[in-house]
Amino acid sequence: MSRPEAPEPLPHPVVDNHCHLDIARGDEAALPVEEALAAAAAVGVTRIVQIGCDLGGARWAVEAAATYDALVAGVALHPNEAPRLPSLDDAMAEIEALASAHDKVRAVGETGLDHFRTAEEGRAVQVESFRRHIDLAKRLDKTLVIHDRDAHDDVLAVLDSEGAPERWVMHCFSGDAAFARRCLDRGAYLSFAGTVTFKNAEPLREALAVTPRDRVLVETDAPYLTPMPHRGRTNASYLVPLTMRLMASVRGDDLGELCAAVDANTEAAFGGAWG
């Protein structure tokens, strides 16, 4: 199947703050990095945060960020990865080394909790992994990127217990307006993915509407979570304009002004400019 056509370019650049350029979807190979970056830049998505969420992906993310000006990296053990590891201690030691390896490693993430794919017996390990990632983000002054699937209350309970770092992002925000306020009260940036365009996502759009402009981010989570009208096909950073246009419409914002805010917010959330 061919990839979705490119949308109309944005009037101001934005950053895709959560992408997996190294991951293929089904039997469709991942785009070569140079091609993916060029396609994104052509529509105004000029920078990307590449997220590695297992040891192999974290190594790849660090190397890619060191190679390409448009990229910075996040490294972590995904919450569904943590219970499968033979040694959490050994894996966390490598994540810490990778997080310290290059100044373009800006984030510790994605970490967090997932009550959808991990059964009850694996959740204690998830919590322990999450706690260690929070500590690492604080010690290294990195941005914490949180994965939260069906675990809203427990995520905030762990954050409250450990104390959130200075900068933290709720990746692919999935809550309603009330949960958005609880996160915002604790200092979060809320990142919205293609899910906000889905027909059944009215609570998510209500959360977007109550998020202050200086706390809004946009992402793909590519190759997943492709925005409408291409839901179910392979996502990529060049499709961010579809999500941004819906976001501006929901909020009643001028598109160019919202893009400029999202661009500035992403720099603030991930520790300053790059590229």
- pLDDT 10s digits, 199-228: 999 999 999 999 999 999 999 999 999 999
Q: What is the total residue count of the chain?
A: 275
pLDDT tens, the chain, 275 aa long: 689 999 999 999 999 999 999 999 888 888 899 999 999 999 999 999 999 999 999 999 999 999 999 999 999 999 999 999 999 999 999 999 999 999 999 999 999 999 988 888 889 999 999 999 999 999 999 999 999 999 999 999 999 999 999 999 999 999 999 999 999 999 999 999 999 999 999 999 999 999 999 999 999 999 999 999 999 999 999 999 999 999 999 999 999 999 999 999 999 999 999 98
Instruction: For residue 246, give Cα distances in angstroms to 40, 218, 241, 250, 258.
Output: 18, 11, 9, 6, 11
Pick the CATH number of 14-269 from 3.40.50.1220, 3.40.50.300, 3.20.20.140, 3.40.50.2300: 3.20.20.140
Among 7, 17, 132, 36, smallest CA distance to 74 is for 17
Residue 264 exposed, middle or buried by CB count within 10 Å (0-12, 13-18, 19+)? middle
CA 174/CA 210 separation, integer angstroms: 14
Q: Which distant-in-sequence residues (6+ apart) come within 8 Å of 28 by Cβ?
A: 1, 223, 234
CA quadruple 76, 79, 84, 87: dihedral sign = positive
| Boundaries of every domain in the chain | 14-269
Instruction: Please give the model's pTM, rounded to 2 decimal places.
Output: 0.97
